[in-house]
Amino acid sequence: MVKAVVLGAAGGIGQPLALLLKSSPLIDELGLYDIVNTPGVAADLSHIATPAKVEGYLPPDDGLAKTLKGADIVVIPAGVPRKPGMTRDDLFKINAGIVRDLATGIATAVPKAFVLVISNPVNSTVPIVAEVFKKHGVFDPKRLFGVTTLDVVRASTFVAEKLGDLSLSSKVVVPVVGGHSGVTIVPLLSQSSHPLPASISEDDYKTLVHRVQFGGDEVVKAKDGAGSATLSMAYAGAEFSFKVLRALKGEKGIVAPSYVSLEADSAGAALLTKELGQELAYFSSNVELGQEGVVKINPLGKITEAEQKLIAAALPELAKNIATGVGFGTEAR
């Protein structure tokens, strides 16, 4: 029996994510929690003819603990999204507190659950969850993931577009490493399963990289004040959740980029640190998943000079974001 929980389940991401999870045969129970509307969302989803039993709770009467009871995997898209002109870091003030409180609930109710953080800024909210878990003495770095899959999904789509064949987009695999905001997002296009045309100009390459890094801004702008990516994020969040669940059920060899604590795999971390030339507590790299969570953090491997420059530009920003999250989380301790 597998139970999945969505915290922030009535939101723009939460609802379609809950729909995709409810559609999956991998899940037997689906718990939905939000500060508004979850009973309605749960009642609606419960009529879909798939096996998962759905329940939705609000904060009163220990709603969070009731939702979390028995959870194997907890996905967190709770919090406010960006409006035009905002960066993900602008969200920190509000979302940091929301994530801290939800993490406290998880650490108390289901400390062994896999925790998948979508709430932005992911570069900082993941360290907050880790600090809260440390405070409760239950931190297992192998079970905490920052969801960067939307960057990976965007890279696949944009590369397929560049190759002039959108039907390739679900097959194109591009590792996206670093973090999840602006310049910290580093697509390793040289490692794409479907190489870019050798004739691609430097300008076209830079435009493509920029589009992966700032693709979220296209959506924020087009939504014109009504929020950020929700549907593509729900798709990406479900895709990553399914990988974690398949690994939990014993499938071997599943690898996906995710923003994780480097404490999850000290040997992998040592290799990565050597490649980066700098120690960081968190980084998104290709991660091999297993029944206990992170099995292995893969090194970057062979990258181009242009990609090395992107990494160099990402590191200071990422280090700053991590320090902000750790600082907030430590205060919370």
Q: Which residues are catalytic?
A: 180
Confirm whether residue 49 is marked as ligand binding. Answer: no
Using DSSP's 3-state secondary structure scheme, residue 7 falls into strand
64 or 300: whose CB is closer to ligand NAI? 64
CA distance 273 to 158: 29
- Residue 269: CB minimum distance to ligand NAI, A: 22
Give the whole-angstrom CA distance, residue 17 versus residue 118. Answer: 11
Question: Has 154 been labeled as part of a binding site?
Answer: yes
CA distance 116 to 294: 12
- From residue 295, alpha-carbon distances to 140, 145, 269, 280 in Å are 12, 13, 12, 19
Query: Of the two residues 133 and 145, which places its CB atom closer to ligand NAI in the complex?
Result: 145
37 is in an annotated binding site: no
Given the complex with ligand NAI, which of 125 and 169 has the nearer CB atom?
A: 125
Residue 109 assigned to a binding site: no
Q: Which residues are at the interface with ligand NAI (CB under 6 A)?
A: 7-8, 10-14, 33-36, 77-82, 91, 95, 98, 101-102, 118-120, 122, 147, 150, 180, 227-230, 233
Rounded to 10 degrees, what is the CA torsion of 299, 300, 305, 307? Answer: -150
Q: What is the DSSP string of 74-118?
A: EEE--SPPP-TT--GGGGHHHHHHHHHHHHHHHHHH-TTSEEEE-
Indicate the residue whose CB is closest to ligand NAI. 11
User: Of 15 and 169, which has the nearer Cβ to ligand NAI?
Assistant: 15
Q: How far is the CB of 128 from ligand NAI (least distance, A)?
A: 13
Which amino acid makes up residue 284? S
Distance (Å, whole) CA 271 – CA 298: 8
Say whether 128 counts as a known binding-site residue: no
Minimal distance, residue 72 CB to ligand NAI, in Å: 19
Residue 234 CB, shortest distance to ligand NAI, in Å, is 8
Q: Which of 52, 59, 60 is nearest to 5 (CA)?
A: 52
The binding site consists of 8-14, 34, 82, 88, 95, 118-120, 154, 233
The binding site for NAD(+) consists of 8-14, 34, 95, 118-120, 233
The binding site for substrate consists of 82, 88, 120, 154
